[in-house]
Amino acid sequence: MNRSSWNLKKIKLLWLAAALVFVLGCSLFAAPATPDSDLFATLQASTPEGYVSPVASDATPTPPVFTGITPIATPTNNPSNPDSAATSVPPPSSSDQPQGHIVFTCQVFKVTAMNQICIMNADGTGFRRLTTEDNLQHFYPSLSPDGRNVLYAGFREENVYEIYKIDLSDGGVDRLTNRIGVNTGPEFSPDGNRIVFTRNNPRTQQSQLMLMDASGEDAGNIPQLSGWDPTWSPDGKRILFASDRDGLTQLFTVNLQGRQLTRLTNLPAIRGRSDWSPDGRYIVTYSGDAWNREVYIMDADGSHVRQLTPSGGNSQGPSFSPDGQWVVFTAYFDHPGDDHGCEIYIIRIDGTDLRRLTNNDYCDYQPRWGP
């Protein structure tokens, strides 16, 4: 082979190598596919606006950006994959470890209409599914003050959701309401004698705060009061709730007779789900546009508002621990943009010691902490 032929062949080989690198580079750095949005409309931690057949939004949400936090070590609690656990961070060595149990909505079948109720220890261990009807919707769980029972809302028939109670000792289920509308967000009073919940009228889309005995008897609305996502003050004398009575949704308190109505907040885009600390000093809620929500903590009168959660996790649905030192919430820190990516996290009330408790391939949300 003469010198000119050899040089021509080398040039061709160099061009071929360059073309191959270009093609591989395009594949490596191509933008990831947009996540399927089928579940985006179902993952609100507040009362949904529609109840009969949830409809996904046509708009493609912008995935949150999560930076600056080391991934949290995760206990094993996935019933379908018991060996799954993250090991990126060793277990915390703090002596004041979180206590009690957390109930939450677990989307084990990845379908809204088949949501279930689950429970775990406050450190993420002891995962257990409580509801057994695979083909029915269950959501909005909460624990009784003595830790023996769980309340939740469940589908019964079109435009009818009932309040149910599960006995944790034997798994027995009692239905407490009877065809009075779409009932959600039930919670026992601090003494365990009464239950507050939301009743929605599907025809008018009006929501009322309701009270009834713990047995389900004597159900009635708090007079002339519209709102949703109620929770009790620690002394059982007032109700904290969300309402759009002044335009944008904000948090209010009221006594059990529907008097002494007080507006607490002035935050943009509040959804609803909130909680009152056991010592009565603080309130937590969440606010922000879709996929950009954060948990906020404030004094019980609505003053001294500060963001509690690290930015970028789309954090929502907070609840205090029984000792008032921690907050549990839903977020997407470890699975941004994944429609099945919401997990349960806890954080101290000073904004430190963020920990992830769940690690499943489906959404865990609407957490509520109890004994």
76-105: per-residue pLDDT in tens? 333 333 233 332 333 444 557 999 999 999
> Cα separation of 82 and 136, whole Å?
25
The vertex-312 CA angle with 29 and 282, nearest 5°, equals 170
190-242: per-residue pLDDT in tens? 999 999 999 999 999 999 999 999 999 999 999 989 999 999 999 999 999 99
Give domain status of residue 12, yes or no.
no
- CA torsion 326→329→332→338, rounded to 10°? 150
Looking at residue 112, its pLDDT comes to 92
Looking at residue 127, its pLDDT comes to 97
SS3 79: coil
Give domain status of residue 16, yes or no.
no
Give me the sign of the Cα torsion angle 270, 100, 196, 55. positive
What is residue 64's DSSP assignment?
Answer: P
- 153, 160 Cβ separation under 8 angstroms: no
**φ/ψ bin of 327: left (φ > 0), alpha (ψ from -120 to 50), beta (otherwise):** beta
The vertex-363 CA angle with 53 and 90, nearest 5°, equals 170
Q: Which domain holds residue 257?
A: 40-89+97-370
> What is the mean predicted confidence (pLDDT) over 237-261?
96
Residue 141 — φ and ψ, nearest 5°?
-80, 155
95-147: per-residue pLDDT in tens? 579 999 999 999 999 999 999 999 999 999 999 999 999 999 999 999 999 99
What is the residue type of 229? D
Which tokens go with 221? 């609305």
> Cα separation of 277 and 348, whole Å?
13
> Cα separation of 42 and 365, whole Å?
10
Give domain status of residue 24, yes or no.
no
Which tokens go with 30? 């191509």
CA distances, 8 to each of 5, 15, 16, 19, 178 (Å): 5, 11, 13, 17, 87
Which residues lie across from 347 on neighbouring strands? 327
Looking at residue 224, its pLDDT comes to 86
Give domain status of residue 293, yes or no.
yes
Q: For the ranges 93-97, 144-148, 251-255, 336-340, which has the lowest average pLDDT? A: 93-97
**φ/ψ bin of 331: left (φ > 0), alpha (ψ from -120 to 50), beta (otherwise):** beta
Looking at residue 329, its pLDDT comes to 98
Looking at residue 38, its pLDDT comes to 32
> Cα separation of 335 and 313, whole Å?
9
Give domain status of residue 7, yes or no.
no
> What is the mean predicted confidence (pLDDT) over 255-261?
97
Looking at residue 67, its pLDDT comes to 31
Give domain status of residue 32, yes or no.
no
**Number of compact structural domains in the chain:** 1
CATH of residue 173: 2.120.10.30
Give domain status of residue 14, yes or no.
no
Q: Minimal CA–CA distance to 249: which of 6, 46, 90, 21? A: 46
Looking at residue 95, its pLDDT comes to 56
- 141, 131 Cβ separation under 8 angstroms: no
Q: Minimal CA–CA distance to 178: which of 224, 217, 234, 231? A: 217
The per-residue pLDDT of the chain, averaged, comes to 81
Cα separation of the two ends of the chain: 86
Give domain status of residue 361, yes or no.
yes
Which position has the higher pLDDT, 43 or 179? 179
Residue listed under structure tokens 């930015």: 311
> Cα separation of 176 and 55, whole Å?
28
Which tokens go with 301? 């009168």
* pLDDT above 50 for 49: no
Count of other CB atoms within 10 angstroms of residue 249 = 21
Which residues lie across from 196 on neighbouring strands? 187, 211
Looking at residue 193, its pLDDT comes to 98
Looking at residue 82, its pLDDT comes to 28
